[in-house]
Structure 1
């Protein structure tokens, strides 16, 4: 498995296929395996890179001095430099979109296109921010995501109608339950605070190129509802596509729809 040392820590990524480069940036609490359906399909025509967030998957702990999503964007650019990749189409879901916009604004010359999925680059609404921070405090204090917390956290990522006995749901729950205390305290909780304590980038969305930008959102996404996706798309003047029968991890709940939408977008780049 390939790793790149970025800011002194090993960052894990996958690199599959040949052709124009596509960088897949995933959700908080998920690793790059969340992109498996898209990697399989897109890598037939494209070079697909997918990375693990710090403290997620096989990536090491959050590097010292990493305090913002701008740092995460800078580290992703360092990965592209390590791979000698000049230009990419970036597909960012959830926190992947939050730091993906920062990458796009800081290095527009590196982007062929930008897809923002189930994400929001405005500030987190204060009641939600305080609620998430209270959950982080519980996790930090106990060193575990307890069964009671799992009952709260896991459903957030899926549409309300999902079968809680499904493999997708149960595998995600098991992965969170298995996270060790050190990883939670050193990386996962700090990464959560960085994510939900982010600053407001809505005023800068007009700087992005609407011709090469697409917003997508699960039609039943609870934490990042379609209203937020529409707001961002209107600010940019770009299309907004709702993914039917999907919640926050829309690329897995309706993998076929998302994959086809991405292939169509990539073909136009």
Structure 2
């Protein structure tokens, strides 16, 4: 599988199709595989690229003592450089959405469009968000005592019990468990702390002027409406639009891939890369 050197790590990536580039950033404890439907569906008109974030999948960990979303965004910039990408649409989900925000704020000139799915802005979180982040950090530390896949299955099923549909249907839950890469305890802790720490990072989204699409699953808690409203406000200079993905939870691109991909294709062809469609 192809890799490129990005700072102090070898980053694994997949690249398909031909056309304007779209770079996909996966969620915490996931890998490039979560974007398979979108990579395959859009390669007819676009160059679709996904990569394993530091600490995940075939990229694996590093010797750094701690991680941050800012570091993950710097890795993404290094990936752009390594693949000779000047500008691209960046699409991130959950933790990947946080990375996409940090990247766009630091490098607005390299963003042809921004797609944020099932994610959260920097800054104070609502109660449900704070509880979710505390739970992630707790699970990461519990991982030393309990098998990682067992923990992942447990948190997904408990999530569905507390908030029906938030983790998707039974098929989606099973896929999330099976597709999740093996992650060592130390990497799990660093990744969890980085994700939870995003709320304390200074991210100025007012510099982003590229067209922006925000999506979230129908079954996410009501607090997500507040989160989405905050994102839209912070991205007001990007003329953002928002869509609720029906019949989906926190992995809306997997729960309802046809709807998600249709909205993404419309965004790419009508707002991010209209000149490519006309040419």
Do both share a fold (TM > 0.5)?
Answer: yes
Q: Paired residue for 1:67? A: 67
User: How far, CA to CA, are the matches of 1:193 and 1:71 in structure 2?
Assistant: 12
Q: Paired residue for 1:233? A: 232
User: How far, CA to CA, are the matches of 1:203 and 1:186 in structure 2?
Assistant: 26
- Match status 1:144 vs 2:147: yes
1:1-49 deviation per Cα after TM superposition (whole angstroms, max 9, x unaligned): 1111223322111011111110001111111111111101111111111
Tell me if the contact between 2:90 and 2:111 (Cα under 8 Å) persists in the aligned partners: yes
Q: Paired residue for 1:251? A: 253
How do 1:79-90 and structure 2 match up within 5 A? 79-90=79-90
Q: Paired residue for 1:20? A: 20
- Match status 1:38 vs 2:38: yes
Q: Paired residue for 2:277? A: none
CA offset at residue 218 of structure 1? Answer: 0.7
User: How far, CA to CA, are the matches of 1:260 and 1:232 in structure 2?
Assistant: 22
CA offset at residue 232 of structure 1? Answer: 1.2
Partner of 1:45, secondary structure, is coil
Q: Paired residue for 1:263? A: 265
How do 1:1-269 and structure 2 match up within 5 A? 1-64=1-64, 67-123=67-123, 124=125, 125-139=129-143, 141-142=144-145, 144-145=147-148, 147=150, 150-153=153-156, 156=159, 159-160=165-166, 162-164=168-170, 166=171, 168-175=172-179, 179=182, 183-200=183-200, 204-209=204-209, 212-222=211-221, 225-237=224-236, 238-267=240-269, 268-269=271-272
User: How far, CA to CA, are the matches of 2:203 and 2:54 in structure 1?
Assistant: 28
CA offset at residue 135 of structure 1? Answer: 1.6
User: How far, CA to CA, are the matches of 1:73 and 1:121 in structure 2?
Assistant: 14
1:124-149 deviation per Cα after TM superposition (whole angstroms, max 9, x unaligned): 5544433322222111x326326366
Shift of the 84–248 alpha-carbon distance from structure 1 to 2, 3 Å rule, reads: same
| Alignment RMSD | 2.5
Tell me if the contact between 1:24 and 1:49 (Cα under 8 Å) persists in the aligned partners: yes
Tell me if the contact between 1:154 and 1:172 (Cα under 8 Å) persists in the aligned partners: no
Shift of the 7–223 alpha-carbon distance from structure 1 to 2, 3 Å rule, reads: farther
Shift of the 212–130 alpha-carbon distance from structure 1 to 2, 3 Å rule, reads: same
TM-score by length of 1: 0.87
TM-score by length of 2: 0.84
Tell me if the contact between 1:69 and 1:99 (Cα under 8 Å) persists in the aligned partners: yes
Q: Please, which runs of 5 or more residues in structure 1 have no aligned partner?
A: none
